[in-house]
Structures are given as structure tokens and as C-alpha cells.
Structure 1
């Protein structure tokens, strides 16, 4: 609701809505057991509420009485709204849910709200509301708004209209993702806008003229923004846009679609949409994510790329080129990646330039499941950000991660390469013959190295092969092997083929952590460290690495900056702060176990692994992240690591196959 109505005013309004006749103030006062003066004051508040809602009117006839003017349908909708707030339809016991509800209420209130009113509305004590408002104020500040406290009047939100709308849209999305939402709840309780179906229909009509359809998420966000904009326009709260910026927006193709939609909305809702609002609608069109058809290929993709603006295409090619070089993969040959990324960046760059926020409900899952690719994307963004004078938040970086991860999956579908370590003891000529025959018989196999038996363990730790092909019996924990002769007979071929068909995962025991063990240095294991916060801990570990000559002096500041962009907590009480390859002299892994957990973003962390990986060892990063992901799930081993008192015992706990 926009204006606040307490329980008595709601009951009076419901009574008047159901009474199809003029009712005297005396009769109302008698029915609700209050004075006629109280009724007059209540009717003033009810009249304000009806004016804000814009459909019904409270008509007063001096000496006769009062009645509600409007159609039966308008009265029915008003009764539905009142029923929504006249009882606790959803539990307000959960502080987080209650906070969201309070924010939504304050954003829609057109006058100060007292603590007592909020306590009554949300069925909690005033002390609880005071505590809630501390968190509410922080949330509003993050959205560029203020919570103003007015003596003897209450609290009220203040700030720029653009930030106000973005905040209202954000809270709408959060409430829609809450455990309670239904379509009716979203329509009525979030922003009380019953015309959503009409808006949805109009937007769908416009969408048919676009080169690519909106994503479902973008479509929903666009409809919500339009609903909020129409309601704010009715309240004479409009967006201000610089004339020069408005002229620039008029030159965009999206402006034509915004103008067409605004014309339809004006007719549908009998409202005049100012030119500045047309510009704001254009910005939302420009920032809306679109869907790429999975059926596009070849000439269709080329045609679609021709329609993408040059800046988005240039950024796309730079980004793909950098990631391709870093991962040593031909991603630039993937046209599907190029088009999908270009379409995404077109909208992303517009969102970032105009301050439109994009929530990413998959952020946590993406960071957890595709941590290596997520970190890769974060590492290549700074030069682009500097050139574009923009900053990509972690939500956007996560969406970019999905595009690149999908490209990797497509490559794996075509041919999953298997890394093989060749162990041969019979001389150079024999090993070359064996290697040549393996490459000819098994094109999907890449021989990473040829070593002798005494070099095999070290080579496995370095290369992380999928399996070993050896001319002598050999057993290395965690890595399957095929014993062959240099001729490779039919049975030996079948054995190798069976190993190729096996999925790429740990083949022996999941608690084997070769990369962690290879990079971990005994002198860099710190147990029972006392730290006040994550910044202190990052600084401590970075200083230890620098003092021993593993990293450059700038490593610490870079690791702190990386942490500011996105939390490196990965679950299981583990965090993995780090900095770019360029600041590492030689690879090492430092670990700190804390004497008590520290807050790390939204997590509590007890074990911190700081990786310093040089460019020459970059192939270790992927298995490093994979092993740490396994360690998060290895609860028994994690428990033991937190109990050890000596560095040697800590290392042995990682080495032990079974715990």
C-alpha cells in the first residue's frame, strides 16, 4: 500500500466498500465505537489512500454522509488489496523476510511512517522494528537512498527517483524469490498493480519486432520496471534525463520500440508519458538481456553478428582472444560463443553505463561449480574495465562465465582430450615409436610427457594425467595405468580405449590431492592464526609469501582488491584469496588455520589457502580449484585438518588416502 492504514481504517474502508449507500458519520462512529471526530480524521486518511490508488473516490456530502464512488470491479480490487494487509497472510517472524517487507512498504509510502505503525503492521514489538531499521538503512544506502528520521513524525525514504525505482524493482525481485510468492502475491502485495497482464501483452507485441526475443528474466524485469514507472508517473514522480543524453538515446533503434510501447500504454491506461520517461524506457530496452536461438548456425550467425553494435563486438573479440590465450584453447573459432557473448555484452555495457542493476540468482552456484572459469574471467576483466571506464560486478562476471563454460562443454562434446603420461624405460627410439603409434591409434589422446619410472611420481603431480601408458608395471595412487609393449597389440588397444572412455575424474580415491601437496610449502603452513578480519589474514599470508621471495610486493594489494570484487569463500569454511600470475615469481601455496572463524562475506572461514601461481605453472590452476572443491565435500578430512597441531601432521592428513 502507498499510504498507511491501520486496522480500524481498513475496517471502515471495507465497510464503506461493501455498503452501496450513503452512510452518515454518526452511523460509522457508532458501528466502530469511536467518536465522530475520530471518524472524520480516519476518513481524511482513507481519502488520501484512495487518491493515491487513483481508481476510487471518497465522496462527502455535508449533513448527509459519505460513500465510495467507483465501479463494482474497482471496489472488488480494493477489497482484495485490503484483505491482503488486514491479516498476517505471510509470516513476519523471519527477520530477513520482515526486512524486505518493511523496505517495500517504506518505498511505497508517500508520508513518514512511525515505528508504532510498523510494529502494528508487522505484528512485532517496536524494539524489533528499531533493530530491523538498522539493516533497512544499510540496504537503502547500498541503493543510493537514505532513511530519514523525522522527529515526532517517523521515518521516510529519500533519494533520487532513478535509485528509488531501481530499489523498488530490486525488492520486488527479492520478494518474488522468497519462499512465499504466488502470482497474486506478486501482483497485489509487491506493488499493487493489477494491470500487469496488459503490460505483459503490450511488451510481447513489441518483442515480435525485435531481432532477438527477451530472456524470461529480462522480460519480467522490464514489465516490473514499466509497472513501477506508470505508478510513479501517476504520482507525478518522473525521471529527469539530461537533454543531451536524451537526444543521444533518440538515435538508438531501441527508442523507436520504446515510443511505440509508450503510445500503447498511454491509450491503455489513460496516462501521459513524458519524453524523459521515453528515454528511461529506451535505456531499459537497451539493457535487457536477449535470448540466442540454439538453431542459429553458419550464415545465420554471421547475419546476426552484423546487427550487433561495433563496441560490443570489439569487446567480445578482445575477451575471447584473451581467454583463449590464457587457456590455450581455440575459443575464437566458436561462432556460437561469439554471437552469444556479443548479444550479452551489448545489453551488459548499456546496463553498466546507466546504472541498471542485474541480479544473478545463479551466482553462488556458478562460483561453486565453475570456480576456475569464474576466476579466469575475473583475471582478464581489469584491462577491459580500464579502457571502457566501467566495472563489471561479480553478477555480470558470472554470466560471462556461463558463456565460456558452455563453449568448453561444446568442445568436450566434439572430442574430449585425454592427457596421458608415457613411461618407457627402453630408450629414445622405442619411446618415440610408441608415442607415434599412440597418436595414430588414439587421436583424442595428448601425450604430456615421456619419463622414466623414477620420474613418474613427480610428473604425475605436475601434469595431472588422466592415465598412464607404461612399458613396465607401475602403480601410482589415483591414476590408472595400462601396461603395453611398444608394438601395442589388440588387447592392449582395447585396454587403452577403455581408459579413454572413462570419465575425467579421480580414478582411485577422491581424497588424493596431488596439486595441493605439490604446491604446499611446509614453511608456509600457519596453524592457530589470530586474525580480526579477512583483510588482516590476506595481508599476513601475502607478506609471508613476499618475505620468502615467492611473490612481488604488489601481490598483497592485488589480492585485497580481488577480494573486494567478489568473495573467495568457497564453502566448507574455506577461502582461497589470490592475485594474478604476473605478480608471482615462483609458485607456492600458503595456508592458515584460524584459532577462531572470521567473517568472509556471507561465510564463516576457518581455513585459508592462498595460491601464488606463476604463468609458467598456469595449468595447475584448474586442478587446484577442482581439488579444493573436493576438499570442501571431504568433511572428515577437513575436520582432521582443523585438529592438527604440527605442519607435518597437516601434510600427512592431506596425503592419507583414507581418513
Structure 2
């Protein structure tokens, strides 16, 4: 880079201390490393070898990238991740000496690291090849390599790394390397192109599903630019729907205009599969509140923590709903061996030392057959901490939206801390990082985030979910600074009008909640089914034929597929009963549906269990908040022994009466919480 006129191979060999043959062989590797950087290696006999950038910025960026790799004392964990990144990006074997040299350690150390790295490689469905005289390489298709890179990025990067404006020079070596493998400068272009498609399904994705898809897309774009395209044989055992392929075609057409890249057919199919997986990832968690296992675990956990603290956590429905939602994602992460990051773990342990020990002990008592790390315990403590500090909201003067990277637990903790210590701020809700920049400024006065956002610094204030003394001072200063901006006086003046409008909105929500309960109970029936023996699919066919006649579903076969898929994930049989809860949420369902089916012959379920009674709970893809609350409350009732006995042996009228009585109690508690006098 310092020799603009170039150097001969002999000059390089003499300066580096290797043979001319080695220089020529290494040049092939350097050409591969330069792909996607905008810098070209020119080799001309007689004049030598030189680098040339398409633009001056290309050479500057390459120099920064090389300087970022300066000698450093890597931790063991960092060294293994960096080694894995090297192997994933390499197209041919790497010598032990080369790895040892780049990571500044000895060859025996690298050998030991490889021994420890092998299980991680297998977890990604890749093979680690190690042969004397040949080198080390990872064996796997382009599809699996991309998935491994995406998985590493998800496990080791947070939202601030992905979308914040933190300089890579100040990032750790692992963060910088993974962002390079994703091509961070192009990530927000990919995200903007995705958002500009204006698809309903992308707006309905969960934040985790949306971000995972964005990471996978960014990795794919970077690999394509490096010349590592997907081939026909790379995608096996899966054929995406034609609708998703068309969506992928439209998306890549838009992306090509932005990034100037061509995408061929195998890449279209790969991107289509990413779209379908994101949809599926969101749908799996859509009715987490109705998952019997999760509701029971949350109930037992709350019961144990309440017993040790004396705090009436059982009365807090918000806590129960938050725990159920969090536990679904947490147990999936633990079972899949995904690395769990909780940057707030140390402050949580310090501020909630006693509660942390209580929750840790309570989780261990549950005997979940899972090793729950302290990072997850920290997230659970945040839920309980938020619940213990939750107080009635006082008069509000400023409206705020929250953006949190740690999900529901951190947003609820920060929200309740704000309500308690700064009651002049009304928290309107929690939004994802990608929604934050798209909410009209007129809809809020403050944007409070726990991460860096792709927004100008004057648009938001960054705080810790624990709301420290320094955070409160920073927030007050931010409010003072932004109150001087044009339009803020108008924002304060409109508060009175909005408070008046809120009274009508609360009445509307009350009516909507009551309508949902009445509608669901009106449609509740007990059916006696003459089903075949040992035939779950046939039993579901008969059940869904009845539901189809009631116009609650549009496609019985599609709904059956989703019910069976959920059952294969783990039986929905309620412990110590013959009652199973079958539930799903889909665009093929037209309205909320709840009914009980008593079977003539017990139907076989997962885990070698059988169901004599099936409670079917269905919901459309687009579901009102009130309807979701009612379904969530009914699923929680299944922990009541009295209701389970009625479901197995009671009459239709007895069951409906019990549900009506419990829902009436729920309605009263909800209206009180929302400030409505009944």
C-alpha cells in the first residue's frame, strides 16, 4: 500500500523473508481477501505487483481494516471465534502456523483451541478437517456457512453493534470481525430496501425474527459481493413457495438498484427461504401465552418467588404475561445451545442481589432438565424487579416511547422505574429499533433507548434499564435541551386535549374487552366426537370439519398442519389429566374460536401420551389486543383444578358458567388497572 509504483515478487520476498514461490502462492490468497473491498491487485511481468482502489475511500477503508488487525492479547473465547471466522471465510485449508501467526500465539495453543472448537463447529452442522501437511479447513455447503456466520453474529452482536454509529475502531476484535463479515455499511441499505417493500408480513414480524432475517440477508449480500454465490446444489430438502420466490425476486430487484449487484436463481430461492423461516419464527411465538407448559412454568416460578419474598406477584397479570413470553424464547435459546448475552448482568446482581438469589433458587427448584445460565436469570430478575416496583401512574406531562435491546424484561423495568421516579413521563409503549426511526415525531415527546439507534443524537436519549442517578440527570438535561426545540410548546399544550380523549379511549377498550369475552363464550360448545382409534390426524380432520362449517377457518388442511407441527414440538397434554390444549394462530383462521371436543377413542400425542379431551383454541393472524388478553386469561385458567375437572366431565353450561365468572373477575381487575370505575 505504501509503494504506489508497485514491487516485484523478488523485492517482497527479500523484505518479508520468504521465497519468491511463496510470494506468488500467497498472492492468490490476497486476491481472494480483496474481493468486495473495491481494491484490485495488479500483477504485471517486469513492472511488479501493486494495489489500486476504485476510489480513494476504498484504499482508506482497507488500510483501516488492516490496522484493526494489529497485534493484540485476545482472550481464549475471542481467539476461538476469530479462528472460526477465518475458517468460515477460507476457500482452502489454512496452515496451523498461519493461524498461530495471525492470532499471536504458539502452534500448540492453536491445536488446543481447535480441540475445544470442534463441538461448536458440529453444532453448526459443519465438519472440521485437520490433516498433517494439509492444514485445517471447514467442510460444508455455502448455505450452512452463511447460517453459521449469521448465528455467530446473533450470538455475539447486540442491536447497538448492528445499527448504532459506534466506530469499528473502538469495537472489540470479535465485534469488528463479525460486522466486517456482514458488511455493516450495507446493512441499513438492506434494511431500508426490505422495509420499502411495504409487505404486511414484515411489519407483523417479531423484533427477533426481523433482526435475524436482516442479519442473514446482510451476510448473503456480502458473500455474493465476494463471489461466493449460492449454487443449485447448496439448498437441499427444501423448496420455497412460489409466492416467497416472487417476493425475493422483487426484493433483490430493489436491492440491486441500491447496491449494484446481480442475484441469480439459487440466491432467489435462498432468500425466499429466509423469508419463510422469518414468518415461521414469528408464528411459533404468536400464541406463547396459550402454551400450557410455559404457563405452568411461569405459575410455579411466580409462586416460589412470592413465597420467599412475601410480595403478591400472583396478582400481577402483566408479570405472568411477560414471563410466559420471555420463557418461550429463553427455553428455545437454551435447548439450541445459543450463546446468551446479558450486558446488564453485573448491575442487576448488584442492585437486586437478594432477588437474584431467590430467582436463581426458584428456577433450580423447577427441575426443568435445562441448565439455565445466570444471564437468563438476570432477565427473569428484571421481570420480577419491574413487578415489585410497579405503582399506579400519576399525572403525566410528557409522552415517551422506549426502545430496548434486551426485550420485554428491560423495557418493563425501565418503564416502571420511570413511572416511579419521574411520574411526569408517560410511557406509551415499547418499539423495536427499526420501528423507532419510522414513528412520526408528532406522536411522542421523548424517545428513550437502551441502545444506539440509526438516528441523530438529538432525536433520542440513551439510558440504562436500571435508570441510575446519572441516567436521571442525563434524561432531565435531554428534556431541558429538547424543550427549547421548535414545536415542543405545542406538544405540551396538547396534553390536556389528549387526556380528555383518553377517557373515551378507555371506555372503548372496556367495551371491546367485554365484546370479546361475550363473543367467545357465545361460541363455546362441547362436542362428542366419534373418532377412530390411534388416529390423531383423522381426529383433527373431523374436528376441523366442524370448525369449517362454523366459518371460523378458511383452509382446514393448513390449520391441521400447524396444529400437528405444534404438537410435535412437545405434547400439549395438561399434567395429570386427559385434557390437551391444541392452539394456533394463522391467516387461515377467520375469527377467535374456543370449543371442547370429547373423544370416543383416546388420540395418541407426542411423548407417548394420549388425550381423551381436546380444547381447541384458534385465533386469526391479525388479532386485537383485547382478544389476545382474553385468550391469554383462559389459557392461564387451565391451571385451576376445578376447571380441568369440568373440562373432563362437566356439562357445557357448567364450563361456560365457570369461564364467565372468572372472566368477569378478570374484566373488573383490568378496568381498575386502566382507571375505569365499574
Answer yes or no: same fold by TM over 0.5.
Answer: no
* Greater relative contact order (Cα < 8 A, sep 6+): 2
TM-score by length of 2: 0.42
Structure number with bigger Rg: 1
